[in-house]
Amino acid sequence: MTGEAPLSAFWLEFRRNRVALAALGVVATVLLVALLAPLIAPQDPYDLSRLRLTDARRPPGFIGSGGYVHWLGTDAQGRDLLSAILYGLRISIQMGLIAGAIAFTIGATLGAFAAFRGGWVEALIMRVVDLQLSFPAILLALVLAALLGQGKWQLIAALVAAQYAYFARTAHGAASAERAKDYVEAALSTPLPTPRVVMRHILPNCLPPLIVVATVQVANSIALEATLSFLGLGLPVSEPSLGMLIANGFQFMLSGRYWISIYPGLALIILIVAINLVGDQIRDQLNPRLRR
Amino acid sequence: MSPLLEARGLTTVFETRAGLLPAVRDVSFTVAAGEIVGLVGESGSGKSVTGFSLLGLIDPPGRIAAGSVRLDGEELIGLEQGRLRALRGRSIAMVFQDPSTTLNPLLTIGAQMRLALEAHGGRDASAMRARAIETLSQVGIADPAARLGAYPHQFSGGMRQRVAIAIALLNRPKLIVCDEPTTALDVSIQAQILSEMRDLARNIGTAMIWISHDLAVVSSIASRILVMYAGRVLETGPTRDVLSAPRHPYTQGLLDSLPAHATPGTALRQIPGSTPSLVDIGPGCAFAPRCARASEACASDPAESVAGNRRWRCHHPIAAVA
Amino acid sequence: MPGYALQRLAQAIIVMMVISVMVFAGVHAVGNPIDVLISPDATQAIREQAIRAYGLDQPLWRQYLDFLGRLARGDFGRSFLYNMPVLDLIASRLPATLELTLAAVIGATALGVPLGIYAGYRPSSILSRAIMAASILGFSVPTFWIGLVLIFVFAVNLGWLPAGGRGATVSVLGVEWSFLTLDGLRHLLLPALNLSLFKFAMMVRLARAGTRELMLTDTIKFARAAGESEWTILSRHVLRLIAIPIVTVFGLEFGSTLAFAVVTETIFSWPGVGKLIIDSISSLDRPVMVAYLMLVALLFIVINLLVDLAYAALDPRLRAQHA
């Protein structure tokens, strides 16, 4: 699974699915745009001194006091919605990636550890993981967000708690399968310390399924974060993610000012759908049962 | 009298990523009413695909590319799906290799038999039940009335295959294609079912195509055999004649590898090499690379030779025993 | 069979105990509800009286035991916020949530399974591709945003359906139900649709994957060889064979749909337990939080138990094992 050749073969096969390729392009573009937000956004949405209430709740295409076109309209504070979305994407993606990375690390380690330790430790860990998997992620995140209070790291903790179990389950499954193979038995019987065997031989072989889970879970993290922010249990107002932008626009929806909620939502969906499409293709390619 | 089944130039291909795979190439044969014809070949020789082609049960990416199959004079290739469905089970039925995967594990065998009867106009519940009991006892299932309510997992492998055979018999088909129905079973049960099926075919007058990789099995039941290799029929003729004096070197190789033909204490003879990949099969004789008698002539396709009721395709056939 | 059921019951009780400890400890780990309950300028005497009244002066383990004892008597305590017994409070809100969740899950299954079977049966047809595209959207698009769009399109723009509330209800056996009146149905439609989309996508995928695999099996080929019609094959064999994974997911998803009702209820102002838990979280109304979490856990365990029993009913092989 390492080395140049399998990777380029993987890419060649990936390239053949045009939908997945387009989705990958979208993901890359969104990432780039979010990264460059301060450079390309027409306005710094956090600079309150620039906001004019006379510009508030204007429809798309309105030319405000800044003298430039608000392509996606403005929100209740007179903020340029396009700028707010670009900055919001930054925050949403950041949250998704950080939470995903931490959940990956904790979950994969726990799962692989359980598979190698065996016995009651394995039974206990996997029991807890299973229990958590059957418990809806949103409830867990909801309770944790409520208990820990508001803030970036509290929210990340809630997201991690809601997602690590998926990684643990996957890593455990893959590691158990690897553990049973002869080469691992052989490696374990050498004087090499077990953690090194795990790092050197097991983890690389568990990576493909974990990567699939990771893609899906980053998308899920972003969606979950948006949901929590929408419910008012997410990030503080000073860091408006896409979910909060949508929530802020909700009250104006009933009076027909759809753009304040709809456009941030569209940005969110484009990102999530694109990530999921890429994840689907990777999963299909890694699934031996679907190969001909 | 015209034969019950007549296949002419049957060709079935599979479209794979590696290219077009001709699983069955230009296969022609006939089956007379009540006759048991054996179809023998190694795995990958196209014998099962031939069987499925007869019933029009080739799933994409496979398709029947050319040829004709006439059953009772009616052309089956290109036949409208509804009519083909009506013929399946009623005129031509099929039994598969592994009885543990063919029966639906969640339905009682009574329910499965009823579905097969309803497919061909069965309406009256008590009549269907009586017919189910009758066929179950025909295939040697004890206490059939009580067994109707049982699930497949409650039967042994051999009994399960008998149930599958009973389902194939339900609508009194004229021809049953048996695709290695005894291969997955214990040897003792295999022999038992073989002899039962032979008697059954004789008693109810059903014709059979018996597909197997095992020449011994086929020769014990079939009156005529077809030897297939790489999608082609290499030799065909009455079983006794083919076994006693094969004309094709491949048939000879199959015979030599039978334990019954070996001198005790010596190793069994094997055909060297392995079956070719069908994707890059050339125009010549497919068996040539493994054949001791091969020459340059074998690079071209051998025409079919006919002598009496025997046919073979070989440039260097084994001489007929005088 | 009874032995198996008893064993499952014992397991369920143990899991409930563990969850009760976790819930209790978790809920009590942070925040001081007294700060929320009593204004900061209340006298010390009033504060202490309140603390005693709510049993908050006891050590945690003591509070937990009291809590367990009260649970055994069916007493979940009083809501700090509503000043009424939690059980009554939840009982008054639960029917609305159950009604919404059931409508969503049943709708998603009734529609998703046939469409999924079709998509698995004819994977390359245009309709199948459209079904799969819809399911990808249903999976990816966050529930709350779809809710907003539904309100905008059907309530604000077209004005066909109400944007929120439960509408007229009918009392049956002392419980209020919306689905029995036309007005209630109109109110139920959008939130149920909103809540069902994710489950719909899941049912479609599950049914499609199961059907695709089944169509290649000998079971289906054998049924075809016997001359059974495609309709018989799909309705009698395929549906029956994919029912087991679908029942599992139906059960598990019922629980998670119940949880996701939180979002839908918030958007559509649906007066169920979801809105109640959001309110109780933001006001640290501990008894309500505890009761809600215990209720969800209990529902999960009951559903799991039912799923296991349904397994046995659907799969004769399992029936034999447990007999």
* Mutant choice from A85, A92, A269 vs C, greatest count of C C-beta within 10 A: A269
The pLDDT of residue A65 is 67
Give percent of chain A above pLDDT 70: 81
CB-based contact C262 A253, cutoff 8 Å: no
* Phi, psi torsion values for A274, nearest 5 degrees: -60, -45
Alpha-carbon gap, residue C91 to A251, rounded angstroms:
30
Is a pLDDT exceeding 80 seen at residue A206?
A: no
State in Å, rounded, how far the first CA of chain B is from the last one.
31
Report long-range pairs for B81-87 (Cβ below 8 Å, ≥24 apart): B84/B56, B85/B119, B85/C224, B85/C227, B85/C228, B85/C229, B85/C230, B86/B120, B86/C227, B87/C227
Query: CB A215: neighbour CB atoms within 10 A?
Result: 21
Under DSSP, the state recorded for C194 is H
Residue C201 C-alpha, separation from nearest chain B C-alpha, in angstroms: 26
Alpha-carbon gap, residue B317 to B307, rounded angstroms:
12
Closest by Cβ to C237, choosing from B55, B88, B104? B104
Q: CA–CA distance from A82 to each of A30, A71, A86, A255 (Å)? A: 13, 7, 6, 21
Higher pLDDT, A206 or C241: C241
Domains and CATH numbers, chain A: 17-51+61-290 (1.10.3720.10)
pTM of the model: 0.79
The pLDDT of residue C116 is 92
Residues B186-245 pLDDT 10s: 888 888 888 888 888 888 889 999 999 888 888 888 999 999 998 889 899 999 888 888
Q: Identify the H or E element spanning A275.
A: helix A259-286
Residue C139 · residue C217 · CB < 8 Å: no
The pLDDT of residue B287 is 85
Q: What is the pLDDT along chain C (323 residues), one digit of tens a residue?
A: 566 677 777 877 887 787 778 777 766 665 565 665 566 667 777 777 777 776 777 777 777 787 788 777 877 777 877 888 888 888 888 888 888 998 998 999 999 999 999 998 988 888 988 888 888 888 778 888 888 888 888 887 787 877 777 776 777 776 777 777 777 778 888 899 989 988 899 899 889 988 988 888 889 999 999 889 889 999 999 998 888 888 877 777 787 788 788 888 888 888 888 888 888 877 777 778 778 877 877 887 788 778 777 777 777 777 666 54
Is a pLDDT exceeding 50 seen at residue B1?
A: yes
CB-based contact B107 C240, cutoff 8 Å: yes
* Mutant choice from C145, C249, C269, C292 vs A, greatest count of A C-beta within 10 A: C145
Q: CA–CA distance from B23 to each of B44, B66, B180 (Å)? A: 8, 12, 18
CB-based contact B57 C225, cutoff 8 Å: yes
List of chain C residues whose C-beta atoms are within 8 Å of the C-beta of residue B119: 226-229, 232
Alpha-carbon gap, residue B268 to C302, rounded angstroms:
63
List of chain C residues whose C-beta atoms are within 8 Å of the C-beta of residue A142: 262, 277-278, 281
Is a pLDDT exceeding 90 seen at residue A71?
A: no
Say whether C280 sits in a helix, a strand or coil: helix
Closest by Cβ to A134, choosing from C30, C252, C289? C252
Residue A281 · residue A13 · CB < 8 Å: no
Whether B166 and chain C come into contact, CB under 8 Å, resolves to no
Count B/C contacts: CB-CB distance under 8 Å.
90
Closest CA to A101 of A188, A215, A186: A215
Report long-range pairs for B42-46 (Cβ below 8 Å, ≥24 apart): B42/B213, B42/B229, B42/B275, B43/B213, B43/B275, B44/B230, B44/B275, B44/B278, B45/B228, B45/B229, B45/B230, B45/B231, B45/B275, B46/B12, B46/B228, B46/B230, B46/B231, B46/B232
Which residue from B minimizes the CA distance to C311? Answer: B106
Higher pLDDT, A118 or C210: C210
Whether A142 and chain C come into contact, CB under 8 Å, resolves to yes
Which of A91-95, A173-177, C64-68 has maximum average pLDDT?
A: A91-95
Kindly report the three-state secondary structure assignment for every residue of C2-58: HHHHHHHHHHHHHHHHHHHHHHHHHHHHCCCHHHHHCCCCCCHHHHHHHHHHCCCCC
State in Å, rounded, how far the first CA of chain A is from the last one.
19
Alpha-carbon gap, residue A203 to A283, rounded angstroms:
18
Q: CA–CA distance from B189 to each of B127, B169, B219, C74 (Å)? A: 31, 20, 17, 63
Query: CB A195: neighbour CB atoms within 10 A?
Result: 11
The pLDDT of residue A126 is 85
Q: CA–CA distance from A26 to each of A20, A34, A95, A169, C275 (Å)? A: 10, 12, 19, 30, 36
The pLDDT of residue C117 is 93
Closest by Cβ to B119, choosing from C216, C232, C314? C232
Query: Subunits that touch chain C (at least 3 Cβ pairs < 8 angstroms)?
Result: A, B
The strand pairing partners of C86, in sequence order, are none
Q: CA–CA distance from B308 to each of A151, B40, B238, B241, B303 (Å)? A: 93, 21, 10, 11, 16
Is a pLDDT exceeding 60 seen at residue A288?
A: no
CB-based contact C142 A268, cutoff 8 Å: yes
Kindly report the three-state secondary structure assignment for every residue of chain B: CCCCEEEEEEEEEEEECCEEEEEEEEEEEEECCCCEEEEECCCCCCHHHHHHHHCCCCCCCEEEEEEEEEECCEECCCCCHHHHHHHECCCEEEECCCHHHHCCCCCCHHHHHHHHHHCCCCCCHHHHHHHHHHHHHHCCCCCHHHHCCCCHHHCCHHHHHHHHHHHHHCCCCCEEEEECCCCCCCHHHHHHHHHHHHHHHHHHCCEEEEEECCHHHHHHHCCEEEEEECCEEEEEEEHHHHHHCCCCHHHHHHHHCCHHHCCCCCCCCCCCCCCCCCCCCCCCCCCHHHCCCCCHHHHCCCCEEEECCEEEECCCCCCCCC
Alpha-carbon gap, residue B31 to B2, rounded angstroms:
10
Closest CA to C149 of A92, A224, A253, A82: A253
Is a pLDDT exceeding 70 seen at residue A205?
A: yes
Domains and CATH numbers, chain B: 5-91+173-313 (3.40.50.300), 104-172 (no CATH)
Alpha-carbon gap, residue C156 to C148, rounded angstroms:
10
Tell me what ipTM this predicted complex has.
0.88
List of chain B residues whose C-beta atoms are within 8 Å of the C-beta of residue C221: 52, 57, 96, 102
The pLDDT of residue A181 is 73
CB-based contact A134 C304, cutoff 8 Å: yes
Q: CA–CA distance from A101 to each of A217, A221, C130, C183, C185 (Å)? A: 10, 11, 34, 48, 44
**Beta strand pairing call for B36-40 and B207-212:** parallel
Q: CA–CA distance from B232 to each of B49, B178, B212 (Å)? A: 12, 19, 15
Closest by Cβ to C142, choosing from A134, A136, A227? A227
Residues B130-186 pLDDT 10s: 999 999 988 888 898 999 999 998 998 888 988 999 999 999 899 999 998 888 788
Residues A17-66 pLDDT 10s: 888 888 888 889 888 988 887 877 777 777 767 666 666 667 776 676 66
Residues C64-82 pLDDT 10s: 787 788 777 877 777 877 8
Query: Subunits that touch chain B (at least 3 Cβ pairs < 8 angstroms)?
Result: C
Could you give the angle at the alpha carbon of B86 between the alpha carbons of B82 and B90, nearest 5°? 165
Q: Find where tokens 């009392």 sit.
A: C171
Closest CA to C201 of A280, A137, B60: A280
Is a pLDDT exceeding 50 seen at residue A135?
A: yes
Query: In the predicted model, what is the mean pLDDT of chain B?
Result: 86
Give the tokens for residue B55: 């019933």
Alpha-carbon gap, residue B117 to B131, rounded angstroms:
9
Is a pLDDT exceeding 60 seen at residue A291?
A: no
Higher pLDDT, C6 or B50: B50
List of chain A residues whose C-beta atoms are within 8 Å of the C-beta of residue C258: 136
Give the tokens for residue B222: 């079939």
Residue B206 C-alpha, separation from nearest chain C C-alpha, in angstroms: 16
List of chain A residues whose C-beta atoms are within 8 Å of the C-beta of residue C137: 269, 273
Q: Find where tokens 């509408």 sit.
A: C167
Q: Which amino acid makes up residue A169?
A: R
Q: Which amino acid makes up residue B20?
A: L
Give the tokens for residue B137: 């006892």
Closest CA to B207 of B224, B191, B192: B224
Give the tokens for residue B190: 């295999």
pLDDT band for position A2 (50/70/90)?
A: very low
